[in-house]
Amino acid sequence: MRKGMGWKVILVLAILGVAFFYLYTKPLKLGLDLVGGMHLVLVPEITGLPPDKSKDAIERSLEVIRNRVDEFQVSEPIVQLQGQGENRVIVVELPGLRDPERARKIIGEVASLEFKLVDEDGLSKALEVGPKKGWQILKDADGKNYLVKEKAELTGEYLKDAYLSRSSESGLGLSTVVALEFDSIGARKFAKVTGENVGKQLAIVLDGKVKSAPKINTRIPDGRAVIEGSFTREEARDLAVVLRAGTLPAPVKIVENRTVGPSLGRDSVQNGLLAGIVGTIIVTLFIIAYYKFSGVVAILGLVWNMAIILGVLAGFGATLTLPGIAGLVLTIGMSVDANVLIFERIKEELRTGKSLKGAIDAGFKRAYIVIFDSNLTTLLAAFILYQFGTGPVRGFAVTVSIGILGSMFAALFLCRLVFDTVFYQKEKISI
Amino acid sequence: MKIPQIDFIGRRKPCLIVSGLLMVIGLVVFLFFPASAKYGLDFSGGTMLDVKFERPIAVKELEDIRKGLEKNGIKASIQQIGKGNEIIIKTKGTQDEKTSGVIKKILEEKEKNFSWSSTYVGPSVSKNLKSSALKSILLGWICMLIYIAFRFEFRWAVASIIAIIHDVLITLGIYLLTGREFNTPTVAAFLTLIGFSTNDTIVVFDRIRENLKLTRKEDYGVVINNSINQTLTRTIITSLTVLFTAGALYLFGGGEVADFAFVMTFGVFIGTYSSIFVASPIIYEWHIRSKVK
């Protein structure tokens, strides 16, 4: 080995070490398309709202949805705003989610909770000639009609807590209910309403539907109430979740929903791996058959590059997606190019009668420019793709970009190092 | 191995004519293909369910599913792929987001065990995706033009742009004629193809530039021929390695990955061809003609 080469060897090993360190300490994050999960894009429907309310509707929706998502207990959920101005949307990503239907319901429910006074006697007349001014007819889940005041006595705004509970008040043994607890202002209001209307019915209205309409037996001073109804445990739990998280300022519309079941994602990983392995084997055999020992060096560079790509992805916490895997496999094919350019050039230089050392020197030097020029175009394309792309496609752009940079580095540095070491003071080259 | 001595420039005319014709065909196919057959879910909007059962689905069962969908007012296309155990159900246009839930219930009546993925793309999203896809392809062309004009010269940049437009149009034509649809991964594939094809062209151009400096006296056509021949081995080997990996992705990747790999597999052929038979002849023709004037 020549002098001054020691640090190069150390650098090569150090880079490999860092790559493995990151891969070991920060395992690669897999995208939704691989682990399964849900990707939702939501837009609040603010067209009907007064301007003062619609102004920050999207921020408030984001906050409420974030609270709701926290209840799912998936690892690393994403809830964020994307886009600008009028085109802003809320993006929700829930990796590894088990029950997407339920998640969609919980996220999308407005959950506006209102307490409204019921007029039992006026109902039949209202059904005939229409409700009197300031009153309206609402239905419950079974289609039963209620005549209620339009103005709510109390809303979910004053809610402090909501949780699943059991109640024996219905007289039919224990039934599942949602227990509500108001804050101090809410409790005062609730006490006033119940105190003034003993004997009347108070309807609990959720998103315009009557949930239950219990009779007020006595003034309730402690700000506690329950929502009864024929809940399953799960329904009651979900209702408690959305009530706790707060009311959405407007209904949200789902404009995009990409959900992948966990097993299909696993299949994709396996298919991608298989393609990668087959591709690598063929490329390896081909390059070694054609370039002999130099081919082995090129493949060494390829393996080194792969370690760098995966290490960088892990280090930056980037996500590996299905297109990302495709990019990785494609990189295997594209990244040998730098080596091919160098090897062909060395062969040409040898043909002109140069010494081996001279040919290697000239080969690397001349190939350097063209490797730079030609790889930059692919890098440029990947950059544009990153700008344009959404999630998975961005994963592809990132993987390809790192792969190209890594391959240039591998060919010009690692390959050079091996050549300088092995063919130093030799007269023949296996290329 | 000896350097080949093929006269590429001498054969430029038939190649340019054939390429020109194929480009026109590609463009015509792209323009006149019905939108419903051209755009996948990402660009047309709608719902797609990809369902993989543990056992093959019989024709009769498929018919039942179809009827079940119709009964629920869902107009869908059903496609059976894989070993008969995977079906793809698609509805296009302004379907409601809840459609996939309805479809899943219908399927569950048939068979409980399946793995699945569902996608819904609303009309506003698909419109956005479409315009940004078009923008990115155009931007790709412009960036390549500027880069090559900067590194080489303007005429060469134009020649290489014609070459990549050629690659994109012809691959596009084949892609559509084999019954494939555009989705966002397809756009990714086409942009990668633009990058790869330019990469190939630049390697040839770089050699032409080098040789022009070395041999000023020689005929322009001879220099181009020599340059292509000198880089031919590299061109073939690199194209082959890309072809191997793209081919592996095409065979084993499945679904959208296969569509993506299809573009790359065909594109590699056409991109390699175009840097030799389109880009280089164009700079030759341009050189000759500007000299005559």
What's the mean pLDDT in A102-112?
A: 84
State chain A's mean pLDDT as an integer. Answer: 86
Residue of A45, A89, A91, A334 best to disrupt the B interface, most CBs of B under 10 A? A334
| pLDDT for B243 | 94
Who among B121, B144, B240 is closest to A256 (CB)?
A: B121
pTM of the model: 0.83
Q: Which residues contact A352 (CB under 8 A, 6 or more apart)?
A: none
User: How many angstroms from the chain centroid is the CA of residue B105?
Assistant: 36
Judging by beta carbons within 10 Å of its beta carbon (0-12, 13-18, 19+), is residue B43 exposed, middle or buried? buried
Confirm or reject contact between A323 and chain B (CB < 8 A): yes
Residues contacting B78, CB < 8 A, separation 6+:
B62, B65, B66, B69, B87, B88, B89
Q: Is residue A48 a part of any domain in this protein?
A: yes
Burial of B63 (0-12, 13-18, 19+ CB in 10 A): exposed
Residue finishing a domain among A109, A134, A168: A109
A255 is a domain residue = no
Residue B93: pLDDT above 80?
no
Residues A393 and A333 in one domain: yes
In this structure, which amino acid lies at residue A377? T
Q: Is A208 contained in some domain? A: yes
Looking at the structure, tell me whether residues A52 and A13 fall in a common domain: no
pLDDT confidence band for A265 (50 / 70 / 90): confident
How many structural domains is chain A composed of? 3
Q: B209 vs chain A: nearest CA distance in angstroms? A: 11
Q: How many CA atoms lie within 13 A of B224 on its CB side?
A: 25
Could you tell me if residue A254 is inside a domain? Answer: no
Q: What is the average pLDDT across B168-178? A: 94
Assign domain B9-39+125-292 to its CATH architecture.
Answer: Up-down Bundle (1.20)
The boundaries of every CATH 3.30.70.260 domain in chain B are 46-121
Binary contact (A330, B246; C-beta < 8 A):
yes
The b/e string for A413-430 (b: 16+ C-beta within 10 A; e otherwise) is bbbbbbbbeebeeeeebe
Residues A131 and A86 in one domain: no
Please report the pLDDT score of residue B94 as a whole number: 57
In a domain, A157, yes or no: yes
CATH of the domain at A141: 3.30.1360.200
Contact call for B144 and A369, based on CB within 8 A = no
Residue A196 counted as domain residue:
yes
How many contacts, defined by CB atoms under 8 Å, are there between A and B? 219
- A78 is in which domain, residue-wise? 35-109
For residues A279 and A343, state if they share a domain.
Answer: yes
Distances (CA, A) of B176 to A255, A295, B37, B243: 27, 38, 8, 20
Cα dihedral B26/B31/B34/B36 (nearest 10): 90
Residue B251's pLDDT is 93
- SS3 string, chain A, reads CCCCCHHHHHHHHHHHHHHHHHHHHCCCEECHHHHCEEEEEEEECCCCCCHHHHCCHHHHHHHHHHHHHHHHCCCCCEEEEECCHHHCEEEEEEECCCCHHHHHHHHHCCCCEEEEEECCCCHHHHHHHCCCCCEEEEEECCCCEEEEECCCCEEHHHEEEEEEEEECCCCCCCEEEEEEEECHHHHHHHHHHHHHCCCCEEEEEECCEEEECCECCCCCCCCEEEECCCCCHHHHHHHHHHHHHCCCCCCEEEEEEEEECHHHHHHHHHHHHHHHHHHHHHHHHHHHHHHHHHHHHHHHHHHHHHHHHHHHHHHCCCEECHHHHHHHHHHHHHHHHHHHHHHHHHHHHHHCCCCHHHHHHHHHHHHHHHHHHHHHHHHHHHHHHHHHCCHHHHHHHHHHHHHHHHHHHHHHHHHHHHHHHHCCCCCCCCC
The residue from A109, A137, A162 where one domain ends is A109
Average model confidence (pLDDT) across chain B: 87
In chain B, which segments carry CATH 1.20.1640.10?
9-39+125-292
CB-based contact, A95 to chain B, within 8 Å: no
pLDDT of res. B5? 85
Give CA–CA dist B240/B268, Å, rounded.
9
Give me the phi and psi of A229, to 5 degrees please: 145, 170
Domain co-membership, A342 together with A385: yes
Which of these three, A189, A213, A247, is where a domain ends?
Answer: A247
**Residue A199 sits in the same domain as residue A242:** yes
Say whether pLDDT at B138 is over 70: yes
pLDDT tens by residue, B190-238: 988 998 899 999 999 999 999 998 887 778 899 999 999 999 999 999 9
Taking only the tens place, the pLDDT of each residue in A137-175 is 898 888 888 899 988 888 888 888 888 887 765 555 677
Q: Which of B152, B187, B237 to mutate against chain A (most A CBs within 10 Å)?
A: B237
Q: What is the CA radius of gyration of chain A?
A: 33
User: Lowest-confidence range among A278-282, A401-405, B213-217?
Assistant: B213-217
Q: Do A374 and B202 touch (CB under 8 A)?
A: yes
pLDDT at B218: 77
User: Tens digits of per-residue pLDDT, B60-88?
Assistant: 888 888 888 888 878 888 888 777 788 88
Those residues with Cβ within 8 angstroms of residue A4's Cβ, 6 or more apart along the chain or in another chain: none
Query: What is the interface pTM, i.e. ipTM, of the complex?
Result: 0.87
Strand partners, A145: A139
Beta strands at A154-155 and A159-167: parallel, antiparallel or unpaired: unpaired
Closest Cβ opposite residue A275 in set B241, B243, B253: B253
Task: Give yes or no: residues A280 and A364 share one domain.
Answer: yes
Instruction: Tell me the C-alpha distance between A425 and A37, whole Å.
Output: 58
Q: Is B231 on the interface with A (CB under 8 A)?
A: yes
Tell if the CB–CB gap between A333 and B188 is shorter than 8 Å: no
Spatial distance between the Cα atoms of A97 and A23, rounded to a whole number of angstroms: 25
Q: Minimal CA–CA distance to A224: which of A196, A170, A197, A184?
A: A184
For residue A188, give the amino acid letter. R
Average of per-residue pLDDT across B23-50: 88
What is B110-123 written as a DSSP string? Answer: H-S-EEEEEEEE-H
In a domain, residue A65? The reply is yes
Provide the CATH number for the domain around residue A328.
1.20.1640.10
CATH of residue A40's domain is 3.30.70.3220
What is the pLDDT, as a whole number, of residue B97? 66
Identify which of A117-121, A296-300, B111-115, B256-260 has the greatest average pLDDT.
A296-300
Same domain, A120 and A183: yes
Is A253 contained in some domain?
A: no
CA distances (Å), origin A332, targets A206, A399, B246, B247: 57, 11, 10, 12
Are A237 and A358 in a shared domain?
no
A102 and A121 share one domain = no
Of the candidates A310, A236, A296, which has an alpha carbon nearest to the alpha carbon of residue A28?
Answer: A310
CATH 3.30.70.260 for domain B46-121, yes or no, is yes
What's the distance, CA A27 to chain centroid?
A: 17
